Amino acid sequence: MNVSLLKYEPTVRARIRSGEFANASEYLRHCIRIAELVEARSAPPGASFATRQELQRLLDEGMRNPGAPVTPRRKRAIYERAGE
Nearest to 34 by CA among 16, 49, 19, 13: 49
Residue 84 confidence class, pLDDT cut points 50, 70, 90 = very low
Q: What are phi and psi of 45, to 5 degrees?
A: -55, 135
Q: What are phi and psi of 71, to 5 degrees?
A: -85, 165
pTM for the full predicted model: 0.48
pLDDT digits (tens, 9 = 90+) for 15-25: 899 998 899 88
